[in-house]
């Protein structure tokens, strides 16, 4: 799976990591629903750090279609809310 972090580039991520990332996605959704700005910020940063840690960066000149697009670390709660699908940010979540 190819994941793009807006403003940073793409990484190749094994599908086996989706369950771990979905847990963070579920936390992020709960914090958004509760209006927990500091919790949202922390969880978004943790989610993106985990994607960077588990993923293999693609070269900057690679033009792979992204299977998943995640917000930039600076994204606001409202910007992330606009990116949500029925599954949250990551497919297979419990949103």
Query: pLDDT (tens digit, 9 = 90+) per residue, 54-83?
Result: 999 999 888 889 999 999 999 998 888 888
Report the pLDDT value the prediction gives residue 6, as an integer from 0 to 100: 94
Buried b (16+ CB within 10 A) or exposed e, 36-74: beeebbebbeebbebbeebbeebeeeeeeeeebebbeee
DSSP state of 88: B
Residue 26 has pLDDT above 60, yes or no: yes
Report the pLDDT value the prediction gives residue 28, as an integer from 0 to 100: 92
Cβ neighbours around 94 below 10 Å, total: 11
Report the pLDDT value the prediction gives residue 93, as an integer from 0 to 100: 57
Cβ neighbours around 80 below 10 Å, total: 19
Report the pLDDT value the prediction gives residue 84, as an integer from 0 to 100: 76
**Band of pLDDT at residue 92, cut at 50, 70 and 90:** low
pLDDT tens digits for range 39-54:
999 999 999 999 999 9
């Amino acid at each position: 799976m190819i994941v793009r972090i807006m403003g940073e580039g793409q990484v190749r991520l094994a599908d086996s990591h989706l369950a771990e990332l979905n847990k963070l996605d579920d936390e992020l959704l709960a914090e958004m629903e509760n209006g927990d700005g500091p919790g949202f910020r922390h969880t978004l940063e943790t989610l993106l750090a985990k994607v960077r840690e588990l993923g293999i960066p693609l070269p900057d000149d690679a033009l792979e279609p992204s299977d998943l697009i995640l917000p930039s670390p600076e994204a606001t709660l409202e910007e992330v809310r606009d990116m949500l699908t029925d599954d949250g940010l990551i497919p297979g979540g419990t949103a």
